[in-house]
Amino acid sequence: MTLQYTQGKYKLINESKYIGDKSNIVFRSSWELKMMNWCDKNASVLKWGSEIHPIPYYSSIDNKVRRYFPDFWLLIRNTEGIEQKIIIEVKPYKETLPPTSPKKITKKSQAKYINERITYERNQDKWKAAREFAIKHNMQFKIMTEYELGIKKRGKST
């Protein structure tokens, strides 16, 4: 089974708000597209950009320094009228949690678990660097999942 992702180039509505190459704004998921629409149309967003500035991070997976391009950079005016700089990463909630070992161990389940573990560790390394960068530059770092984006509602366990 092949998963289908919504991908494409975003067409700006408010060009003056965008920081970066206005002709090459790429979204890699419907969630990123939703975030771009929100940034572009929301009056509290003064400036925004997508994957415009790399943050170096140390990868514990391969012991190398790599570059992380967070999904979004925002300058907003909050409800108190104060300007805030925010770095945002859009990720599925599942990827913010450590993966669980498979109940039934097969080659396929083990490979899936290893890939999920690598993704989790890589994300943790990136997000650690992003948090440190944000603190150093008087910014906030936020991870936006399907819950924060309003795609799913948190419900009670059934």
- The catalytic position among 34, 40, 51, 71 is 71
- The catalytic position among 85, 91, 128, 142 is 91
- The catalytic position among 17, 32, 40, 89 is 32
Beta-strand relationship, 26-27 and 55-59: unpaired
Cβ–Cβ < 8 Å for 85, 78: no
Query: Is 125 annotated in the active site?
Result: no
Please say whether the dihedral angle defined by the alpha carbons of residues 4, 10, 11 and 12, taken in this order, is positive or negative.
positive
Could you tell me which residues come within 8 angstroms of residue 70 by beta carbon, excluding any fewer than 6 positions away?
51, 53, 55, 87, 88, 89, 130, 141
Query: Is 91 annotated in the active site?
Result: yes
Distance CA 43, CA 79 (A): 11
Distance CA 102, CA 90 (A): 26
As annotated, the active-site residues are: 32, 71, 91
